[in-house]
Amino acid sequence: MSQLSAGICRRLNEAPQEEIDQLASGHTVQLLSIKKVAPTTTSTTATDRFRIIISDGVHFVQAMLATQLNDLVANGDINKNTVVIIDKLACNFVQDKRLIIILDLHVVSRNEEKIGTPTAPPSTQDAPAPAVLEATSSSVTSPATSSSTGQAKPIQPQPRTGPSGRGGRSVYPIEGLSPYQNNWTIKARVTQKSDIRTWSNQRGEGKLFNVTLMDESGEIRGTGFNAVVDELYEKFEEGKVYYISKARVNLAKKKFSNLQNDYELSLEKNTEVEECLETTSVPMMKYNFVELSSLEKLERDNTCDVIGVIKEVGPLGEITSKATNRTIPKRDLTIVDMSQYSVRLTLWGKQAEQFAADDLPVVAFKGVKVGDFGGRTLSMVSSSIMTISPDIEEAHLLRGWYDGIGTEKNFQSHTSGSSGASFGGFNRNEMRHLSDVKESQLGMSDKAEFFSTRATIMHIKSENISYPACPTQGCNKKVVDLGSGWKCEKCDKTFERPEYRYIMSMAVADWSGQAWLQGFNEAGLAVFGKTADEVHEIKERNEAEYNALMAQASGVTFNFSCRAKQDTYNDQTRVRYGISRITSLDYHEEAKHFVNLLKSPWAQ
DNA sequence: CCCCCCCC
């Protein structure tokens, strides 16, 4: 049975803040409870927060687990009754309550019984009993439920005398910032500074910039507008550490934030920013790497951190933005990691132009955006950070692995199965059921969305499956029968006979549902095994034979790559599913795919 | 008060 550090809970409950930081480390406690705090927003991307109860065998107190430790909960590393040693904690006073945040810990033992019969420590006049911490903790995560804004008198944190103290003010952990406390100073490193951006919309125009601020407890985004840009933009330098105070703490709109923080800072006219040269306590960067194999689990538009070896550096290219019509340089990298997956990652703008590494370095990416084009892709966004050959353990491990055996590995691609990563290609790893296609409202946005599905033809609208087309290569326009010939308006030419091309609408079904798919020439060729000219000729000559051909086509199953897009026709808006590829089932190919699945890391 | 982050 473990020996707990009796007395620590009482001290945590009574000691003034400046002492708590010093007495914090090295104490052994038991976790009596780990509970997820109700999410702040309805957003599904809101970061989980865990409230824990720690016991020293005599007393217990409540605390919050820093979100950077959430993995310990998710992985089952810590549970009820786990005994841990606290390596680092912070305490801050929010109004009249104290909030203890466990910043780091390590496990001593699991599967223990509850040790002793701990009770709540006696309340003191100066320091409130932990019973009120319930309210404190939820006020951090659920400000909407708090009714006490501006009513209670905040306890002024005691000035720190240690080396990180400053001008009689206490340094707060970023994790502890909340809208209800404004007399704070954080000591944070600028891990990222945006360019100055301008905007102009109905509500007005202006300019702004963002910084990402980080300390050992967490991260927060800061934004400065207009005059504040002039005042502070030059002052902030990436990598440097600053004392920052008198900024406003707002609820972050999670939709737009990739940081693990429910709040963000609005840098105001009177916000104080002062460089701090004593920087050793502030980490350089914080990562929460995901393996490339598990990108499938992330939704499109999520952001994540990854680390990989650059296996391929694509050529500098450019695209023309549909929205702005501007030309933007881009460069695709292929990165691989120990999960034996590869993924394409796109750099934009200057970063694309200037990327010159030719020695296949290890690169860490923070806050890159997940795309789902043909599987999974990653893309740098303005808040992403790319670090080439970072001096971190994961990088050294990866380097060693890759130089040893990684070079010889085959990497599973996220972009497609056997047919290659072509646009709209069939992807066995990303098959959707028809009901899923409809339920997930694919194509309901302004953009076209692509999916792969396997379905059986139930019915083909037989009245009109082809049209007379211009025989000019690549024209395919409908031609008009003049009696004396067929005229193409586009080519301004008349032809003796047209070339029929398929245009067909078919109902397909799988076990989950059905859908109407629109197919063109390629689809007809696959379905009938004949050209549209041939089928048209049959229809003219022998209606019964034509009907038999139609009947034959029903009940056949194909692999489809489809494009879902909203379409307005006769004032009716609905999603249409176009067939971009159709292939007969190839059982050899299907079996090969299953074998690959069995060999892949996630089957082990 | 932005919140765009692009293309196949």
DSSP A301: T
pLDDT of residue A94: 67
Residue A290 CA distance to nucleotide B6 C1' (Å): 25
Q: What whole-number distance in Å separates Cα of residue A88 and Cα of residue A26?
A: 8
pTM: predicted TM-score of the whole model, two decimal places: 0.51
Q: What whole-number distance in Å separates Cα of residue A574 and Cα of residue A568?
A: 6
Q: What is the residue type of A9?
A: C
Phi-psi region of A395 (alpha: psi -120 to 50; beta: other; left: phi over 0): alpha
- A204: nearest nucleotide, CA–C1' criterion: B1
pLDDT of residue A95: 59
Q: Kindly report, residue by residue over A497-528, the tens digit of the pLDDT.
A: 999 999 999 999 999 999 999 999 989 999 99
pLDDT value at A273 more than 50? yes
Residue A330 CA distance to nucleotide B7 C1' (Å): 9
Task: Work out the percent of chain A whose per-residue pLDDT is above 90.
Answer: 51
Low-confidence winner among A296-300, A558-562, A596-600 (lowest mean pLDDT): A596-600
- A208: nearest nucleotide, CA–C1' criterion: B2
pLDDT of residue A455: 95
pLDDT value at A139 more than 60? no
Helices (H) and strands (E) in chain A, counts: 12, 32
The answer to whether A66 and A101 are in contact (CB under 8 A) is yes
Q: What whole-number distance in Å separates Cα of residue A453 and Cα of residue A430?
A: 8
Residue A317 CA distance to nucleotide B5 C1' (Å): 17
Q: Kindly report, residue by residue over A475-505, the tens digit of the pLDDT.
A: 788 999 999 999 998 888 899 999 999 999 9
pLDDT value at A157 more than 50? no
pLDDT of residue A311: 93
Residue A201 CA distance to nucleotide B4 C1' (Å): 12
- Closest protein residue to B5 using CA and C1' atoms? A381
pLDDT of residue A145: 34
pLDDT value at A584 more than 70? yes
pLDDT value at A443 more than 90? no
- Closest protein residue to B1 using CA and C1' atoms? A225
Q: 3-state SS of chain A: helix, strand, coil percent to 5? A: 20, 40, 40
Which one has a higher pLDDT value, A431 or A148?
Answer: A431
pLDDT value at A81 more than 90? yes
Residue A403 CA distance to nucleotide B5 C1' (Å): 34
pLDDT of residue A427: 75
Both structure tokens of A367 = 């806050």
Region A446-457: mean pLDDT is: 86
| Helix A521-528 vs helix A532-541: crossing angle, to nearest 10 | 60
The answer to whether A77 and A65 are in contact (CB under 8 A) is no
Region A459-473: mean pLDDT is: 89
What does the angle CA A391 – CA A392 – CA A395 come to, to the nearest 5 degrees? 90
pLDDT class of A44 with cuts at 50, 70, 90: very low
- Closest protein residue to B7 using CA and C1' atoms? A319
Residue A317 CA distance to nucleotide B7 C1' (Å): 10
The answer to whether A579 and A517 are in contact (CB under 8 A) is yes
Q: Kindly report, residue by residue over A223-256, the tens digit of the pLDDT.
A: 999 999 999 999 999 999 999 999 999 999 877 7
- A373: nearest nucleotide, CA–C1' criterion: B8
Instruction: Spell out the residues 6+ positions from residue A341 whose beta carbon is closer than 8 angstroms to its own.
Output: A291, A292, A293, A295, A411, A412, A413, A414, A601
pLDDT class of A444 with cuts at 50, 70, 90: confident
- A258: nearest nucleotide, CA–C1' criterion: B3
- A384: nearest nucleotide, CA–C1' criterion: B5
- A328: nearest nucleotide, CA–C1' criterion: B6
Among A307, A304, A294, A283, which Cα is nearest to A379's? A304
pLDDT of residue A146: 34
Residue with tokens 């194999």: A293
Kindly list the protein residues whose beta carbon lies within 7 Å of any strand B atom: A 194, 197, 199, 201, 203-204, 206, 208, 210, 223, 225-226, 250, 252-253, 256-257, 264, 266, 317, 319-324, 326, 328, 330, 346, 348-349, 369, 371, 373, 377, 379, 381-383, 423
Determine the length of chain A.
604
Among A418, A318, A401, which Cα is nearest to A362's? A401
Q: Kindly report, residue by residue over A14-43, the tens digit of the pLDDT.
A: 887 777 767 768 899 999 999 887 654 444
pLDDT of residue A153: 34
Look over chain A and give the mean of its residue pLDDT values, rounded to a whole number: 84
Q: For residue A271, how far is the Cα from the chain centroid? A: 31
Q: What whole-number distance in Å separates Cα of residue A597 and Cα of residue A109?
A: 37
Residue A447 CA distance to nucleotide B8 C1' (Å): 14
The answer to whether A401 and A296 are in contact (CB under 8 A) is no
Low-confidence winner among A72-81, A320-329, A385-394 (lowest mean pLDDT): A320-329
